[in-house]
Amino acid sequence: MDHLDELENQSVFILREAYKKFKNLAMLWSIGKDSTVLLWLARKAFFGQCPIPLVHIDTSYKIPKMIEYRDKIAKEWGVTLVVGQNKKALDEGMNHAKGRIVCCEALKTQGLQQIMEDKGYTGLILGIRRDEEGTRAKERYFSPRDKNFEWNFKDQPPELWDQFKTTFAEGTHIRIHPLLHWTELNVWEYIDREKIPIIDLYFSNAEGKRYRSLGCAPCTFPIDSQARTVPEIIEELKSTTVSERSGRAQDQENTYAMQKLRARGYM
């Protein structure tokens, strides 16, 4: 077994635990590389199927190509797609000009909260990774969120020997993070090995720019890059010291922006 096999096997184990333990389970699909790898791993875990519905939170500001890709893959792979949107906030004119953090909270966090209440999901699978930023480095594989959707990062349950927190009080839910132990480079190496079809926004365009991380059009900026293929991206990543989320404006709002967002239920 090489390192990618180890990562894959651990993720498959976690996905199967989640599927067994949560009657009402959903998986967040942001269309980006991580959650698409997650979807691929689910098909590995369940021998070709993805028996877990995929939830996409549509802020309406997504890069249009993302929606196109989403619907194409969903159809080809025969997955159940549930789209959530905070219509009320959009009707009231919410956008990033009102403040990036405010906007993320309304359209993403609350959008997610609404669909979870609607559908009664008690378990939510997300593709976050420890190497993304400091608070994610402290996450658990199975991470409880309270009635108000909040993350009590100061008092997390112990997690040892792959015995996860799968029991919880009424009204609360569990976030499940099967990709926690992967790095950005691992994700690309796996995409390369498995030949996973990835949205082409990640590849360098005519202007010599590519997205390293995908989000809403107004708050996500492409980087200068000549990488046009997966192996070229892998080569590029091996030599860069620039962080993955540096093109994500909400992270840079202030020192503890991500902690605040995530404590209140952001992904």
Partner 1 sequence: MNDTVQLSNLSTKLMRLVIVGHVDHGKSTLVGRLLADTDSLAKGKMQFVQDICDRQGKVFEFAFLLDALEEEQEQGITIDTSQIFFKTRKRSYVIIDAPGHKEFLKNMVTGAANAEAAFLLIDAFEGVQEQSRRHGYILKLLGLTQVAVVVNKMDMVKYDPEVYYRIKAEFSSFLNPLGIEPRMFIPISAKLGVNVARRGDEMPWYKGPTILEMADQFEKRPPQDHLPFRMPVQDIYKFDPRRIVAGRVESGKVRVGDKVVFSPSNKTGVVKTIEGWSVPTPPAEACSSQSVGFTLTEQLFVERGEIVSLADQPLPIVSTTFDANVFWMGKRRLEKERNYTLKLTTQEVVCEIVGFRKVIDASTLETLGDQDYLVKNDVAELTIKTRQPVVFDQFGVIAETGRFVLVDDYDVCGGGIITTYSPTAKKDKLRDEVRLRDFHWAASKITPDQRAYRNGHRAALILLTGKAGVGKAVLAQLLEEKLFHNNFQSYLLDGRNVRLGVGADMDNDRYFGDGEAVRRFGEVAKLFLDAGHVVISTSNTFNQEDHSDIRMLAEPSPVVEILISDQPRTHGEVDIVLTPEEAGKKSETVNKIYNYLKDKKILVGHNYSI
138 binds partner 1 (CB under 8 A): yes
238 Cβ contact partners less than 8 Å away, ≥ 6 residues apart: 185
Task: Tell which one of 150, 159, 232, 253 touches partner 1 (CB under 8 A).
Answer: 159
One-letter identity of residue 177 = H
Q: Which stretch binds partner 1 (CB under 8 A): 26-34, 93-101, 109-117, 160-168?
A: 160-168
134 binds partner 1 (CB under 8 A): yes
- H/E stretch holding 125 reads strand 123-125
Packing angle of the helix pair 184-194, 33-45 (nearest 10 deg): 60
Q: How far apart are the first and last CA of the chain?
A: 31
51 binds partner 1 (CB under 8 A): yes
Q: Which stretch binds partner 1 (CB under 8 A): 6-14, 22-30, 200-208, 216-224?
A: 6-14
Q: Which two tokens stand for residue 205?
A: 């365009």
CA–CA separation, 143 and 61 (whole Å)? 29
**CA neighbor of 125 nearest in space, from 74, 178, 81:** 178
CA–CA separation, 29 and 217 (whole Å)? 17
17 binds partner 1 (CB under 8 A): yes
20 binds partner 1 (CB under 8 A): yes
Task: Tell which one of 245, 249, 250, 265 touches partner 1 (CB under 8 A).
Answer: 245
Q: Which is nearer to partner 1, 131 or 232 (CB)?
A: 131
- Where do contacts with partner 1 occur on this chain (CB under 8 A)? 1-6, 9-10, 12-13, 16-17, 19-20, 43-49, 51, 130-135, 137-138, 140, 153-154, 156-161, 163, 165, 167-169, 181, 183-186, 189, 194, 237-238, 240-246, 251, 255-256, 259
